[in-house]
């Protein structure tokens, strides 16, 4: 049975001191370890690591008094003892899992701490949803710290969310025991223009002495100085070396991410490996990883391995996935390293380059070994209301996806959302599209198909139609998702209107998820009944359904890496250049609604 209750340092201090002084035995001792010390950035051979009351009490050479008759002894056999891995910024909901199932998916990969921003559930359920995520995080056997979402909606006036987050909500959340700071401040134009609401939200966080998360998604760094002056302390939206350099030079931590579809480590880590900037100001994170990635590829161990493969010193990479993150959030004395007084989170691995995760200990208890989770599953129940969040207002037909052409025209020039593989930004493209029977149609030969946003919070029955390029769909098909960052209306992309209607109606029936249809047949379905975002099924089951979804997309012609993530972000109206919302097509370079048709031709 895993005890999830961790004593404070003050409660443990007398016993920790007694163990370190040789006056009392430890609860657990790891012997014959290569101690990876992320404070001094060195490997210390033949080390003994003692844990008492769930915290490290002693780290050093052999000391016989550490071991008593009740002490659990683990012989590391010369393996490396590294700190439990820490994810500095991520969204549980992107894993398609609840906090419990996400934690159980990543524990065998060596992740023992996460800093999570539940702004997806905030957009759907508001403060009530955030509180559920907060409370479920508290019962986990690992450390799951919650950031209070800052921007719902992410761009006021350009989208309509299920709920809004107010400064008063942030003030309240800052009093909750497991709130560590403010989630990514996505409304960077609001900060740069000193919007009173955004500044009030930042002030509430700083008044509570907590960390403000950043999110500057513009490739134009000219405005970054104003954003940095507004208070954000970190940023994970960088995609090139200049972005990382700017963040650090302006006194922020640069968070380098490797998620399911965001590959931003390699292009930024040269700020350390080539320019020689101080690596203690860099943090590794995942941001968005869906269940298939977690089950098949890993979590923070995957990010650390990738950073090393990109030329980063292994010890530096481990610092970026442990102590750097803990220090950033004011928790250096609490976690992020193997050192006296810290939480007893440690991973044994036989290779610092390939980083196989062979034994995982959290709070002084073995919770996973050789890829298998060993701790009990905590109980947490989401209310029935959370499982009834898809309200389309009506069953859709193919006609709801009609795009009417201007009268008398036989072709139009339309704005098209251009997907960029492995990156969050899109390109604002144009395409000459044909008109048939008064309706604009896609152009599969040039990879242009339809995209639609279906309102799903208030049952208005509204559908916004536009065009998208880059997925490569080449047969009659449609894919629908109730995961659509950040307002989480339904995004439907397809080449066939009948399939688009079937896909949307399917998600209404199952109350959320992702599905793929082709020629009237359902090829894949991932059910996400909690808020239309998450499943409380085991990660392996969700991952299997997600794998089937990816295979179905490929069957329809999509060759993009992890294209589901690209699909789900096409409604995110704070990342350039072009997005779709319930208000229409959004030009994110100007933060304004724009027309679908650029010009028309006879």
Residue 1: its pLDDT value, please? 32
| Contacts for 139 with CB less than 8 Å, ≥ 6 apart | 4, 100, 378, 379, 380
pLDDT at 600 over 80: no
Domain borders along the chain are 82-381, 386-601
pTM greater than 0.85 (yes/no): yes
What is the per-residue pLDDT across 168-209, written as a single tens digit (0 to 9) for each? Answer: 999 999 999 999 999 999 999 999 999 999 999 999 999 999
| Residue 252 DSSP label | -
Taken as a whole, the chain contains a residue count of: 602
Q: What is the pLDDT of residue 213?
A: 98
Residue 425 has pLDDT above 60, yes or no: yes
- Mean per-residue pLDDT, 480-484: 97
Residue 23's CB: how many other CB atoms inside 10 A? 10
Distance of alpha carbon 106 from alpha carbon 85, whole angstroms: 10
Topology adopted by domain 82-381: TIM Barrel (3.20.20)
DSSP string, 495-542: S-HHHHHHHHHHHHHHTSEEEEEETTEEEEEEE--BTTTBB-S-HHHH
pLDDT digits (tens, 9 = 90+) for 105-159: 999 999 999 999 999 999 999 999 999 999 999 999 999 999 999 999 989 999 9
Is the per-residue pLDDT at 334 higher than 60? yes
Spatial strand order in the sheet of 85-90 = 85-90, 111-116, 143-148, 179-185, 211-214
Per-residue pLDDT tens over the stretch 553-589: 999 999 898 899 899 999 999 989 999 999 999 999 9
Specify the pLDDT at position 2. Answer: 42
- In contact, 204 and 171? CB cutoff 8 Å: yes
């Amino acid at each position: 049975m895993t005890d999830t209750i961790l004593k404070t340092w003050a409660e443990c201090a007398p016993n920790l001191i007694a163990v370190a002084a040789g006056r009392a035995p430890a609860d657990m001792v790891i012997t014959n370890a290569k101690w990876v010390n992320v404070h001094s950035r060195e490997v210390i051979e033949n080390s003994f690591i003692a844990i008492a009351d769930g915290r490290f009490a002693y780290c050093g050479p052999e000391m016989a008094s550490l071991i008593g008759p009740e002490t659990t002894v683990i012989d590391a056999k010369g393996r490396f003892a590294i700190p439990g891995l820490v994810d500095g910024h991520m969204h549980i909901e992107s894993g398609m899992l609840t906090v419990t199932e996400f934690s159980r998916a990543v524990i065998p990969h060596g992740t023992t701490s996460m800093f999570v921003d539940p702004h997806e559930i905030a957009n759907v359920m508001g403060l009530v949803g955030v509180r559920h995520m907060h409370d479920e995080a508290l019962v986990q056997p690992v450390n799951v710290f919650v950031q209070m979402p800052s921007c719902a909606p992410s761009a006021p006036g350009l989208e309509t969310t299920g709920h809004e987050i107010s400064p008063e909500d942030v003030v309240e959340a800052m009093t909750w025991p497991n709130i560590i700071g403010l989630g990514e401040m996505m409304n960077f134009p609001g900060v740069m223009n000193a919007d009173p609401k955004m500044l009030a939200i930042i002030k509430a966080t700083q008044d509570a002495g907590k960390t403000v998360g950043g999110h500057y998604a513009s490739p134009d760094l000219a405005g970054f100085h104003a954003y940095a002056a507004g208070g954000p302390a970190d940023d994970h939206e960088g995609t090139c070396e200049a972005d990382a350099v700017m963040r650090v030079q302006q006194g922020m931590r640069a968070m380098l991410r490797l998620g399911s579809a965001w590959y931003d480590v390699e292009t930024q880590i040269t700020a350390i490996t080539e320019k020689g900037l101080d690596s203690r100001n860099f943090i590794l994170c995942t941001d968005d990883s869906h269940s298939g990635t977690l089950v098949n590829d890993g979590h923070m161990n995957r990010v650390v391995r990738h950073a090393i493969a990109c030329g980063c010193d292994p010890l530096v990479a481990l610092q970026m996935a442990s102590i750097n993150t803990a220090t950033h959030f004011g928790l250096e004395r609490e976690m992020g390293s193997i050192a006296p007084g810290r939480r007893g989170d440690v991973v044994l691995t036989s290779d610092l380059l390939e980083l196989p995760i062979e034994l995982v200990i959290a709070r002084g208890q073995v919770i996973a070994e050789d890829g298998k989770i060993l701790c009990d599953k905590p109980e947490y129940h989401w209310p029935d209301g959370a499982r009834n969040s898809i309200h389309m207002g009506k069953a859709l037909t193919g006609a709801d996806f009609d795009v009417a052409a201007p009268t008398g025209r036989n072709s139009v020039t339309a704005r098209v959302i251009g997907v960029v593989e492995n990156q969050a930004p899109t390109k604002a493209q144009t395409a000459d599209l044909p008109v048939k029977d008064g309706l604009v149609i896609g152009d599969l030969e040039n990879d242009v198909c339809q995209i639609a946003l279906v309102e799903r919070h208030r049952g208005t029955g509204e559908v916004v139609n536009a065009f998208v390029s880059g997925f490569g769909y080449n047969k009659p098909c449609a894919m629908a998702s109730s995961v659509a960052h950040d307002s989480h209306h339904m995004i439907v992309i397809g080449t066939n209107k009948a399939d688009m209607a079937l896909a949307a109606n399917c998600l209404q029936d199952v109350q959320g998820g992702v599905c793929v249809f082709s020629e009237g047949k359902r090829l894949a379905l991932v059910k996400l009944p909690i808020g239309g975002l998450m499943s409380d099924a085991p990660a392996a089951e969700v991952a299997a359904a997600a794998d089937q979804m990816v295979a179905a997309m490929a069957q329809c012609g999509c060759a993009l890496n992890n294209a589901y993530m690209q699909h789900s972000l096409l409604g995110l109206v704070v990342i350039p250049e072009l997005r779709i919302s319930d208000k229409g097509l959004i030009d994110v370079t100007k933060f304004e609604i724009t027309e679908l048709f650029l010009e028309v031709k006879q």
